[in-house]
């Protein structure tokens, strides 16, 4: 054991009559509180961003490939599901899954209400995991090999407005040029995502219904929806997919389709940075105050150590070692409490939200070990760097004067 570590371990006994004793406790709990607030803030905001992205992607996928001549939701230019691009896209690194889809604008009519909708048609190979996890009642559309299914899943929002339930018959009308076509569907499931703009309009059914409405053959669709392995690599994957497309196809990412929403989510990062800066300041001020009191209280001891041959660097190291144990204790305490609170919320969803305002009904938590580790290391490094300033006072202490300081 080094001389500095030996002295540091015995330097500050837990004497409540000393000035530094209570202040060390205050500094420890202040650091713990700062770490707790930082971890909770980052975990909640990251969880919120992740949850919103997941829901928006669930409706529209990460990347959408359509015809370059795509018009509007009622009159679209179809693309073939048998194009050579399909195989090239599915083989692109970073691409997780490719779905075919076809959408059609229309309305649902009941005895006393009319409600505008977007009928999103998908096939049996569609990745329906998003709707499965948000399904509240019933089941997903069951596809039949010989004919289009007349089953649809509707949102809780639409079901409540139109007083629909499982098994209800839904009369729908779709625009076709200057006329319209009527179809009757059966509600087989009710989902809820709390994304009002989407829940308000989307119903999900068999893509073959849209193909019949548009007089398309079985190989025609609106386009391809592409899921990527990692959202952070969306831009790189989209560029690789774009390189595989012919001149008559165009590509849009989910960010390009919803620029306002994703700009708002990116703006939340500013809140995270602000919270971290404020809490780091609280931690550093607390530990600097504690260290200064320790130095003032041990002025005579510092003078004695200098008289015995210790240099400024060695004495500085003693105080830094002692301070690092205080910082580490506060960080570990903050980590433990933060993990407990995050785990409880993640498992049981105790704290609720107004889904109309926040697009989710519980406070989301991103229980990521990287968040805990990065905040803990950053707090330790920042606090230790901040301590280099008050320890310079040690060099101004003279043995002859300080030994009779008391």
**Average pLDDT for the chain:** 85
- Best-predicted range by mean pLDDT (1-15, 64-78, 218-232): 218-232
> Domain spans of the chain?
3-54+262-402, 69-246
Residue 225 or residue 296, greater confidence: 225
The predicted pLDDT at position 178 comes to 74
Chain centroid, CA 209 distance in Å: 36
Residue 195 has pLDDT above 50, yes or no: yes
User: In this predicted model, which residue has the larger pLDDT, 172 or 404?
Assistant: 172
Percent residues over pLDDT 90 in the chain: 48
Q: What is the pLDDT of residue 74?
A: 56
Predicted model pTM: 0.80
Q: Which single residue is written with the structure tokens 């704290």?
A: 351
255, 357 Cβ separation under 8 angstroms: no
Q: What is the pLDDT of residue 359?
A: 82
Q: What does the pLDDT read at residue 241?
A: 93
Query: Residue range 198-223: average pLDDT?
Result: 92
pLDDT tens across 288-329, in order?
888 777 777 766 776 676 666 666 677 777 777 878 888 999
Q: Look at residue 341 and tell me whether its pLDDT is greater than 90.
A: yes
Count the Cβ atoms, other than its own, within 10 Å of residue 247: 6
Q: What is the pLDDT of residue 175?
A: 81
Q: What value does the mean pLDDT take over residues 156-165?
A: 92
Return the minimum-mean-pLDDT range out of 36-40, 224-228, 326-330, 394-398: 394-398
* Triad 181, 187, 193: Cα angle to 5°: 105
> Which of 158, 162, 249, 163 has its CA nearest to residue 204?
158
Which neighbouring-strand residues pair with 175?
Answer: 180
Name the residue with higher pLDDT: 293 or 224. Answer: 224
Identify whether the C-beta of residue 75 lies closer than 8 Å to the C-beta of residue 215.
Answer: no
What pLDDT is attached to residue 21? 67
Distance CA 33, CA 36 (A): 5
Evaluate if residue 272 carries a pLDDT over 70: yes
pLDDT surpassing 70 at residue 406? no
- The rounded distance, in Å, linking the Cα atoms of 85 and 344 is 47
Mean pLDDT calculated for residue range 148-175: 92
Percentage of residues of the chain with pLDDT beyond 70: 87
With bands split at pLDDT 50, 70 and 90, how would you rate the model's confidence at 405?
very low
More confident residue, 179 or 342: 342
Query: Which tokens is 110 given?
Result: 């009941």
DSSP 312-341: HHHHHHHHHHHHHHHHHHHHHHHHHHHHHH
Q: Report residue 12's pLDDT band, with 50, 70 and 90 as the boundaries.
A: low
Q: What is the pLDDT of residue 11?
A: 62
Supply 199's token pair: 């829940």
pLDDT digits (tens, 9 = 90+) for 92-142: 999 999 999 999 989 998 888 899 999 999 998 898 889 999 999 999 999
Question: 327 CB contacts (<8 Å, ≥6 apart)?
Answer: 31, 283, 287, 379, 380, 383, 384
Q: Are the CB atoms for 223 and 104 separated by under 8 Å?
A: no
Residues 18-42 pLDDT 10s: 556 677 788 889 899 999 999 999 9
Indicate if the pLDDT at residue 377 is higher than 80. yes
Position 179 pLDDT exceeds 50: yes
The predicted pLDDT at position 397 comes to 67
pLDDT digits (tens, 9 = 90+) for 38-83: 999 999 999 999 999 998 898 889 999 998 875 555 567 889 999 9
Number of neighbours of residue 60 by Cβ within 10 angstroms: 18
């Amino acid at each position: 054991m080094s001389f500095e570590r030996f002295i540091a371990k015995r330097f500050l006994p837990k004497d409540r009559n000393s000035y530094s004793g209570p202040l060390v406790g205050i500094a420890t709990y202040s650091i713990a509180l700062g770490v707790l607030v930082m971890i909770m803030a980052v975990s909640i905001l990251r969880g919120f961003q992740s949850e919103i992205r997941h829901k928006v992607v669930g409706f529209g996928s990460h990347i959408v490939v359509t015809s370059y001549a795509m018009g509007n939701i009622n009159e679209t230019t179809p693309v073939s599901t048998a194009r050579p691009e399909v195989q090239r896209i599915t083989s692109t690194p970073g691409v997780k899954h490719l779905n075919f889809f076809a959408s059609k604008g229309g309305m649902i009519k009941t005895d006393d209400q009319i409600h505008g909708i977007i009928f999103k048609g998908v096939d049996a190979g569609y990745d329906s995991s998003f709707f499965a996890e948000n399904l509240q009642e019933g089941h997903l559309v069951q596809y039949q090999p010989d004919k289009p299914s007349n089953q649809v899943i509707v949102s809780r929002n639409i079901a409540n407005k139109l007083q629909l339930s499982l098994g209800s018959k839904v009369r729908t009308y779709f625009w076709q040029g200057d006329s319209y076509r009527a179809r009757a569907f059966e509600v087989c499931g009710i989902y809820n995502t709390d994304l009002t703009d989407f829940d308000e309009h989307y119903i999900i059914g068999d893509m073959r219904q849209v193909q019949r409405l548009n007089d398309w053959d079985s190989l025609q669709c609106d386009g391809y929806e592409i899921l990527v392995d990692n959202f952070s690599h969306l831009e790189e994957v989209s560029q690789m997919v774009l390189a595989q497309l012919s001149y008559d196809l165009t590509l849009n990412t989910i960010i390009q389709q919803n620029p306002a929403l994703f700009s708002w989510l990116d703006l939340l990062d500013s809140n995270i940075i602000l919270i971290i800066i404020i809490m780091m300041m609280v931690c550093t001020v607390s530990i600097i105050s504690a260290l200064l009191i320790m130095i003032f209280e041990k002025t005579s001891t510092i003078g004695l150590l200098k008289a015995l041959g210790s240099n400024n660097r060695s004495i500085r190291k003693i105080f830094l070692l002692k301070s690092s144990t205080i910082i580490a204790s506060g960080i570990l305490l903050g980590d433990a409490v933060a993990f407990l609170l995050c785990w409880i919320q993640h498992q049981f969803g105790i704290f609720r939200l107004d889904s109309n305002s926040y697009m989710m009904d519980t406070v989301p938590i991103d229980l990521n070990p990287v968040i805990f580790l990065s905040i803990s290391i950053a707090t330790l490094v920042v606090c230790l760097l901040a301590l280099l300033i008050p320890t310079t006072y040690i060099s101004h202490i003279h043995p002859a004067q300080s030994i009779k300081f008391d």
